[in-house]
Structure 1
Amino acid sequence: MVPRSAGAEPPPAWYLRDWDSGALYKRGRLLGEGTFGRCYQVTEVTSGRLYAAKLIPRARLATAAIGDRPLSLCPQSLADILRARGRLTEPEVRYYLRQLLSGLRYLHGHGLVHRDLKLSNFLVTERMRVKIGDLGLARRAAPPGRRWGALCGTPAYLAPEVLERRGHAVPSDVWALGCAVYTALTGHAPFEARHRPELYRRIRGARYPLPPQLSPRARALIAHMLDPEPAARPSLAGVLGHPFLTQGFTPQALPPRACHSVPIFVGQEPLRRILRGLRCWRGCGCVPVTPGGGRAPPQST
């Protein structure tokens, strides 16, 4: 047991319920403690599976204006999925990005800047929904005429204005989100260098490679979000309205298998391509393949 000082929050109940799924969990040992709350090992009562859950006192949530549900159970992050997959497809990135934009709009709408957006802080639930985690560096945006010049966050995701001590603001979160989009689509961060000074030079100059496998819409969105001038970057609404999100296929849901292998999107290809493939198969002996790369089952005539 960890001794509790006077005035500290009482420990949470032994049993906790996830109101999203209705599942019941039994609280176990304390795993760690951060700025906003404590992380406990918990056991799902029905299955006996172990999870880590970060519990945040409601008083702190009210102070930060970020809601009132303290239980969050996310078995992995987008960084974990990327390590297993190498890189994600554009439909998957659109699926996750839409949810992240919704969460960030809520956060920014309450005057808060996250200041440490990255794939390891994008937590994925068992239902393949993504949540923004780790608000330990979040703070209110500076009032007009002032700026918070602290150099904090993850080095490869820092915006040029943050490196120049001009402070974090909404455009800085947009920059970091753009770095996350690039990383998810390519498998590596846009700004990489062995030594920190060179890394910062590349960030200030927005010098990063654009792999040819990215679609023109993806390349355009990344270039817009990673503009070295904060005022030139899109707002969150602008990102949501970008052609990358409005003109590409976005799945309504992702299967859990997407955590370790490329999902097959039914209905993604236009009907004319499917019919063309069937005509080619029947007429010239070609063998069509499924979106996952396997041979398609034979068709009776």
Structure 2
Amino acid sequence: IGPHCFELLRVLGKGGYGKVFQVRKVQGTNTGKIFAMKVLKKAKIACNAKDTAHTRAERNILEAVKHPFIVDLIYAFQTGGKLYLILECLSGGELFMQLEREGIFLEDTACFYLSEITLALGHLHSHGIIYRDLKPENIMLNSQGHIKLTDFGLCKESIHDGAVTHTFCGTIEYMAPEILVRSGHNRAVDWWSLGALMYDMLTGSPPFTAENRKKTIDKILKGKLVLPPYLTPDARDLLKKFLKRNPNQRIGGGPGDAADVQKQPFFRHINWEDLLARRLDPPFKPCLQSEEDVSQFDTRFTRQTPVDSPDDAAISESANQAFLGFTYVAPSVLESIKEGFSFQPKVRSPRRLNSSPRTPVSPVKFSPFEVFKPGPPGEPMEVGGSLPPPPEGTAPLPIKSSVGAKKQKGGRGRVPR
């Protein structure tokens, strides 16, 4: 298996480490099938040990974790200068784009997506994995409209009951307070992020925003949670439970994890067994003309000519050691090969806004990003629970002044990692 097995069709995204293409397999098992191909440049990753570790973690997590609401890894391979991840192609695009079109979601719509995300997070946590970068841009929709978590580059492995980690990473607007003050964090950070995402879905922006990063962080650490009066009591109750600053008081932060979240009144109408089996109809089914339809993706990328740049094999042998064992073939593919199976392919005008992306903070440094307009005013409420003090000798990372002018909320977008 290698790059020669795939025909480039479209560019789906681009980031600092490489590109994501829509591709068609042109030989061997699965010939004719459409996939997403994530291409990462070794030279840009290998120069930083943490970037290398996070790349390895992403590939390992994708191999180890199989779930209806988590993207499937089909193949992984490498060349002299590049790493390749072949993933299922999620033609419904980012949940971000759907939220951008709608502005806000009705509570029933938000409840459906939040329910599927809850099951995905619970599955990760059961494997000792913290996701740490939950936001609309990292949630994709398949062709039927069900969600899939993607982009596992900031995940942390081997965090089981009682264990904590101190890495500073994520996307500020969705980042839990304990990450910001580096007091040590565990899987409870994902439930804070789910609360911030829920607030975003129901109001049009995350709960704590300001004109620059420093003020946004100050609001996350000390600001009041403002809940618009139009929210139902069940939604208000769950938001307050998710957005507790003390992770020990936060819903999902205890031993019950996702099971405690599932019991909340906001989800009372969800049949969790049917949800997991994808027997419930999604609130939105993408309008797709074919397997190759990329209408749900950002035209800034899909209009580009797909070109995989020449392979630069000039990477040291010692650097290449970090990528030993990267190759992978999904068990389902191996079974198909054994059985002699060969895949035979089957023979909306949304608002697209061009803007600077909202970029996750790497474990090493801040990346410039734009912020959002605050959500609609409403009844002020104190977020319950105070944050435990950071351990001796630690302090929040220094904050530099923001770069660029404030953008309108409608301008949120993303460049893949």
TM-score bucket (shorter structure):
0.5 to 0.7
State the secondary structure of the residue aligned to 2:192: helix
% identity of equivalent residues: 32
Return 5+ residue gaps in structure 2 as ranges: 27-31, 40-54, 67-71, 75-86, 253-257, 288-295, 297-347, 350-417
Residues 118-163 of structure 1: CA distance to partner in whole angstroms, max 9, x if unpaired? 1111111111010111100001154677642221110111111111
- Mapped to 1, the partners of 2:269 and 2:154 lie a distance apart of 34
Flag the 1:254–1:195 CA change in 2: closer, same or farther, 3 A: closer
Cα RMSD of the aligned pairs, angstroms, is 3.6
Return 5+ residue gaps in structure 1 as ranges: 1-9, 16-25, 262-301
Q: What is aligned with 2:183? A: 166
Please state if 1:74 is matched with 2:55: no
Flag the 1:96–1:54 CA change in 2: closer, same or farther, 3 A: farther
- Mapped to 2, the partners of 1:136 and 1:39 lie a distance apart of 14
Q: What is aligned with 2:131? A: 114
Count matched residues.
238
- Mapped to 2, the partners of 1:124 and 1:59 lie a distance apart of 20
Please state if 1:39 is matched with 2:39: no
| Alignment partner of 1:200 out of 210, 217, 224 | 217
| TM-score calculated relative to the size of structure 2 | 0.50
Give the drift of 1:197: 2.3
Given that 1:147 and 1:166 are in contact with CA atoms closer than 8 Å, whether structure 2 keeps it comes out as no
Flag the 1:171–1:87 CA change in 2: closer, same or farther, 3 A: same
Flag the 1:111–1:58 CA change in 2: closer, same or farther, 3 A: closer
Given that 1:141 and 1:169 are in contact with CA atoms closer than 8 Å, whether structure 2 keeps it comes out as no
Please state if 1:225 is matched with 2:242: yes
Give the drift of 1:86: 0.4
Flag the 1:142–1:107 CA change in 2: closer, same or farther, 3 A: closer
Q: How does 1:78-117 map to 2 (within 5 A)?
A: 78-117=95-134
| TM-score calculated relative to the size of structure 1 | 0.67
Give the drift of 1:231: 0.7
Please state if 1:149 is matched with 2:166: yes
State the secondary structure of the residue aligned to 1:213: coil
The amino acid of 1:169's aligned partner reads: N
Q: How does 1:1-301 map to 2 (within 5 A)?
A: 11-12=2-3, 14=5, 26-28=7-9, 39-42=20-23, 52-54=36-38, 60-61=59-60, 65-67=64-66, 69-70=73-74, 71-75=87-91, 76-142=93-159, 147-205=164-222, 207-235=224-252, 236-247=258-269, 252-256=281-285
- Mapped to 2, the partners of 1:120 and 1:243 lie a distance apart of 27
Give the drift of 1:94: 1.3
- Bigger RCO of structures 1 and 2 (CA < 8 A, at least 6 apart): 2
Given that 2:177 and 2:221 are in contact with CA atoms closer than 8 Å, whether structure 1 keeps it comes out as yes
- Mapped to 1, the partners of 2:58 and 2:165 lie a distance apart of 25
